[in-house]
Amino acid sequence: MFHFVYFHSTTINLTEIKFTKEERNLLDLGLQHSIKKPLKTYWTSLVMETERAIKLLDTKLQDPFRILAAKKLQQISNSGNQGGRNQRRLLYILKSINNKLATGKAMIARADKGRTTIVMYTNEYTSKVQSFLRENNFHTLQKDPTKKDHRTLQSILQQSNLVIDKRKIKFLMQKTPFHPH
153-165 per-position pLDDT tens digit = 888 888 877 777 8
For 67-114, give the DSSP string.
Answer: HHHHHHHHHHHHHHTTTHHHHHHHHHHHHHHHHHHHHTTEEEEE-SST
Please state, in angstroms and rounded to a whole number, the distance separating the CA atoms of residues 151 and 154. Answer: 5
pLDDT bucket at 172, cuts 50 / 70 / 90: confident
DSSP helix/strand/coil, 179 = coil
Helix or strand or coil: residue 176?
Answer: coil
pLDDT confidence tier of residue 102, bands split at 50, 70 and 90: very high
**Which tens digits make up the pLDDT trace of 21-63?**
999 989 988 888 777 766 676 778 888 888 888 888 888 888 9
The contacts of residue 49 (CB under 8 Å, 6+ apart) are none
CA 137 to chain centre: 30
Helices H / strands E in the chain, number of each: 7, 3
Helix H or strand E encompassing 45: helix 43-55
Indicate the domain borders of the chain: 140-181
* pTM summary value: 0.57
